[in-house]
Structure 1
């Protein structure tokens, strides 16, 4: 599993101009079963995406499709972790 940590590097007004595109991007990877959860940080200075993938390289390629990446609106940090405990409803996703 991966935590994708976004940190916004532009004013929110500029970011919001690309929000619809970003949501479409998120929807694509939810449909593919890669994204598990996502949302804004509080305060709104970035966001978090939880993702399932075979490798960090795969996640890096997926990030390159994000309008926030394409338009240089956010910095992206990827943390990989091995799930040792998780909610039972995630079992099907993780196996």
Structure 2
């Protein structure tokens, strides 16, 4: 699984202008079952995405299609982790924990 930290590199006005396109991009990832959670960071300096397990190369390719990436409005820090403990609600998405 991955946690992706987005850090805005442009003024918030530019971010807000592209936000509807970014929201559509996020919706597509959820429809394909790739993302588990996402939202704004507080303070509003970027965002956070939690993904399902996948190959790192696949995630990099997905992130490259984010309108924030395409328009060079954000940097991405990708943190890979292997969850060893999961809340009951998330056990079906954690391949590392026996069900």
TM-score in same-fold range (> 0.5): yes
Query: Which of the pair has more CA radius of gyration?
Result: 2
Assess if the C-alpha contact under 8 Å between 1:38 and 1:47 holds in 2.
Answer: yes
Structure 2, unpaired ranges of 5+: none
Deviation at 1:54, TM superposition (A): 2.1
Structure 1 length as normaliser, TM-score?
0.95
Q: Deviations over 1:40-75 (max 9, x none)?
A: 110000110000132111110000110000000000
**Aligned residue-pair number:** 95
RMSD over aligned CA atoms reads 0.9
SS in 2 for 1:17: helix
Structure 1, unpaired ranges of 5+: none
User: Is 1:40 matched with 2:40?
Assistant: yes
